[in-house]
Amino acid sequence: MLFIFDWDGTLSDSKAKITKAMQLAAEDLGWVPLDDHLIHNIIGLGLPEAIHRLYPDVSVGDRQSLREAYATRFLMLDEARPSDFFPGVAETLYHLKGQGHTLTIATGKSRKGLDRIFGVLGLGDFFHATRCADETASKPDPLMLQELLSEFGVGPEDAVMIGDTEYDMEMAKNIAMPRIAVSYGAHHVDRLHAYEPVLCLDRFDELLAWERLR
């Protein structure tokens, strides 16, 4: 089976770091930082799309300046302490791979950002394929899912998207792909239920019970 995982908020406990980096970046530009919940709402989007939603009325140049400041701040915070996986993530991923499943990533991160994290964690060859927002379309456009389906020659019914935001759920629903929500990420679980996930995980390792029933 083709498993497609979001990264931030699903595998990686990085919500607080993303939020802090965006607030510090705004301060670097002399702007009033936004409240946490507003930043949580854009986690999962590609960075340009996220910044446009947060600051729709600023100029293109100012959004680019914020993008650069955010990248700098996030890197500083992440180098000081890389984000941990949520409980049960590593064990579950290794089990699924050992069972012969295809494991992939579909993320709003940039290619540079994801590759850097893979290097830190030693995961460069672990996942069978990855898609990042800056090399395809940002969520909730389903293009990254369609590309992964095409790469492995399977249909949506033989894949599942696991994510923590309504953007993950929406892009999967758009192509009738089964989807599994996690309740501990960036978006409140009530928002995810609106997209009719087949399952909602309170702990990541609960995915193993579902996998055994497939």
Does the active-site annotation cover 205?
Answer: no
Question: What tokens were used for 155?
Answer: 């249909």
| 210: enclosing H helix or E strand | helix 207-213
Q: Rounded distance, CA 61 to CA 190, Å?
A: 36
Q: Rounded distance, CA 47 to CA 78, Å?
A: 17
Catalytic residue among 6, 78, 164, 168: 6
Considering only CA atoms, give the Rg of the chain: 17
Three-class HEC string of 60-111:
HHHHHHHHHHHHHHHHHHHHHCCCCECCCHHHHHHHHHHCCCEEEEEECCCH
Nearest Cα residue to 116 out of 149, 82, 147, 88: 82
Amino acid at 2: L
**H and E: helices and strands count for the chain:** 10, 6
Does the active-site annotation cover 13?
Answer: no
Active site members: 6, 8
